[in-house]
Amino acid sequence: MRNFRGEVLTLRGRLTAAFLAVAFGPILLGAVFVASTVTAVDRSRATERLAVAATAVRTSIDALCQQLRAAADAVAVTTDHAGAAGQVVSRGLAAAVQVTDVAGRVSVATPGAPPAPWRDCAAPVPATGPIGALAVRVELRDPAGTALGTVTAAQPVDPLFVARLAAVTGVAVTLLDGVGPPTRVAHSTESAGGREAVLAAASSLPDERVTSTPDGRYLRRAGPAPGQPLPLVLSVPSDQPPGLYAVLLAVVLLAALLGVATAWRLARVTTRPLVELAGAVDRVAAGDLTARVPVRSGDEIGRLAGAFNRMTRETGGYLAALASSRDQLRGHLAVLGDTLASTHDLQRILRVILHSALAATGARAGAVLLTEPGGLLVAQCTEGLDGRWSGTGPVRVPLGSGVLGGVAATGRPCRGRTDTDAVPPGEPRCRTYLAVPFAAPTGGPSATGADRSAGTGADGSAVAAPAVATAPLGVLVLYDRLGGEEFDDDDLATLRTFAGHVAVAVDNVRVHEEAQRLSLTDPLTGLWNYRYLRESLRREVERASRFGRMVSVLVLDLDRFKTVNDTYGHAAGDTVLAEFARRVRGEIREVDLAFRQGGEEFVVLLPETDARGAAIVAERLGAAIRGAPVAVVGHADGQVSIPVTVSIGIAVYPDHAGSGPGVLEAADGALYAAKAAGRDTWRLAARGGAGADPVGAGAPIVRAAPPTRELPVSTVARSPADGLPRAGTGGDPGASADTAPGPGAGAGAGAPAGAEV
């Protein structure tokens, strides 16, 4: 009970704080607003006054400088400089006039001149040091334009001058003794305390900006600047009422005391009825679902007590249902785990996952759609959707189109209701749906491409924010929950888990297929390796035997390849091999297969091709290899060009052997014959009759077939049963023309239909 009372006191404190925040907050904000507003208004007025004063200072000094210039011009245009200077001074146009010659000697000077230095009104750069007077200097010239000297008119800068500026501007004016540190006050209309404040702020006072001092003054610098050479500081006192902050603070403190007292009383009255409810909650938390709370009133606390009693009654029923659902889910997960671990059959895995998702969520129908090249979602596995699809034929939904396309394109799960009369093209008719995208696992926490937080889609349906920016693999979608209710957040979380299983399954199958493909290819050239050569040769020989056709085998060997490695290095040799493989792929058909048997020896398998067609292919391969040297970049000698030639041996099933290994051995013997004939040529194995033993090394050489015009051959590429891709072309390995060829079918091997050789 002591712990419970501690919780009550904590709740009471929270309620007190909430009341204070609601009641005391506006008071505090109002006080701050009043204080800031008064300060802002005061500063705004001071800024305006100082701006007007600065303009008046510039205008006054500019007028004085113009007056001095007129006085100096009046003296300069006369021949009697002394008399003109006296008249200018007597009329008050200037306090002093000096006339100097070109050597700088003073020829005329009026008495009572102000002390030096004199600051020129047109001085380009403000000087440091004290200022005795403002002056204007004009040049003195004769009628011919020859410089005779200068005339200078001056006006003293003294306390009287500063006082006149203060009277004109209506603010206090302080003249600094120069612009550079150390800063000193020359003349000022400020009081002694004000001068100290101005002196303290003058060194860091920004140009043309207003700043305040601790004693409540606002300052602004007015020069020096072009046309106004005096370093002046303008200041005005603050108009803010004294003691404003003290009054506001007292009001805030009084309001705070009253608010605390009121809030504490209300919180105590509010929390008292919660004692019984909290005790019952403690009993339920300990496992006693028979705990009940007496309903003593009809207010919010009474309704809360009634809701608590209903909750405890329903919780008992939920526990029994959850136990049953848990056992059922464990069974589905066990089947799902066994399936994922024991097979790479994607269709079987998708069926098990979809069935488990339907059972776990109570949906009537569902589908798994995968993304295919071209930006289409294609249904791979469906259940309960017979007759529901709005279209005909295979289910294909473009990315970004309809509900499913939008889910895949945006990576956002979506759930809601649909109008059965407005079904998007390619999607099934339904009342409710729940669709979750999935992407390839990335190792992050959201491998399904969706976040756990839900939002709202453009159509008002609930969606979840995307989490990963990976290309979508597909969509897992469920339709029409049993009972007619919409899918909820729990169903979304459950389906997200199953979507993760789908992503893992699809990724595992694709990784398995890629690993299988890599195990059958040569890493340097990208051609099929010797392991796949044996399997392909066996398959093609069996197919040719079954349909009564021919299969030609070409064994190719690069001439003097050891010299290439010894001369240019093994890196250059690898470049030559890779380029050789590329040229071979470019000269054969899609149904033909190219292999690297080992080292610099390669094999080309030509289905449905006789000796004449194989000879044409050999001629074309030899020409393609010798036609252009192989360029090797990055060699020690720079880019080098390596000439390459190839020797080719040809054998045909069943003319030269009755088995795959026999045909390969016969072609290998013909290769040795081509080598012995001087290389860079091809030779056909000796004909021993259909099914005869192959010709070995050193067998008689059959003459090369004469040049012929190649006949067009129409072939149809078909995928083999193993489904593996064909090396170098992106097609299927072992693909061949299973349809019977017309007359002369073998003659066109390796060339497009209608090509000439």
How confident is the model over 731-753, as pLDDT tens digits? Answer: 334 333 333 333 333 333 333 33
pLDDT of residue 689: 40
Q: Which of 565, 561, 576, 646 is nearest to 604 (CA)?
A: 646
Parallel, antiparallel or unpaired: strands 133-141 and 118-120 = parallel
pTM over 0.85: no
Domains of the chain as residue ranges with CATH: 2-237 (no CATH), 284-342 (no CATH), 344-515 (3.30.450.40), 519-748 (3.30.70.270)
d(CA 293, CA 304): 10
Looking at residue 575, its pLDDT comes to 92
Across all residues in the chain, what is the average pLDDT?
75
The reported pLDDT for the residue numbered 200 is 67
The Cα 131–Cα 158 span in angstroms is 9
Percent of the chain with pLDDT over 70: 73
Q: How far apart are CA 55 and CA 313, in angstroms?
A: 84
pLDDT of residue 389: 64
Of the pLDDT bands very low, low, confident and very high (cuts 50, 70, 90), residue 708 is very low
- Express each pLDDT in 42-58 by its tens digit: 778 878 887 888 888 88
Q: Identify the pLDDT of residue 692.
A: 34
Return the exposure string of 422-458: e unless at least 16 CB atoms fall within 10 Å of the residue's CB, then b: ebbebbbbbebbbbbbbbbbeeeebbbbbbeebeebe
Q: Which residue has the higher pLDDT, 322 or 583?
A: 583
Higher pLDDT among residues 334 and 741, named by residue: 334
Q: What are the Cα distances from residue 522, in Å, to 374, 571, 589?
A: 29, 16, 20
Beta bridge partners of 174: 188, 233
pLDDT of res. 513: 75
Across residues 161-166, what is the average pLDDT?
83
User: For residues 428 and 387, is the Cβ–Cβ distance under 8 A?
Assistant: no
Tens-place pLDDT, residues 370-410: 888 777 888 888 888 776 665 555 677 888 888 888 888 88
Distance of CA 105 to the CA centre of its chain: 77
Helix (H) or strand (E) run with residue 346 in it = helix 346-361
> What pairs with residue 378 in β-bridges?
370, 396
Reply yes or no on whether the pLDDT at 328 is more than 80: no
Residue 62 pLDDT class (50, 70, 90 cuts): confident
Higher pLDDT, 552 or 438: 552
- pLDDT tens for 240-297 read 766 666 777 777 777 777 777 777 777 666 676 777 788 888 888 887 877 888 787 7
**Residue 675, pLDDT score:** 94
Q: CA-CA distance, 199 to 205, in Å (whole number)?
A: 10
Write the pLDDT tens digit of every residue in 197-250.
Answer: 776 666 666 666 777 777 777 877 777 777 777 777 888 887 776 666 677 777
Q: Residue 186, Cβ neighbours under 10 Å: how many? A: 18
Sheet with 551-558: list strands edge to edge.
Answer: 593-598, 601-607, 551-558, 646-653, 682-684
- pLDDT for residue 422: 63
Whether residue 587 contacts residue 617, with contact meaning beta carbons closer than 8 Å, is answered with: yes
ω into 654 cis (within 30 of 0): yes
Half-sphere exposure of 265 (CA within 13 A, CB side): 6
Rounded Cα distance, 66 and 751, in Å:
99
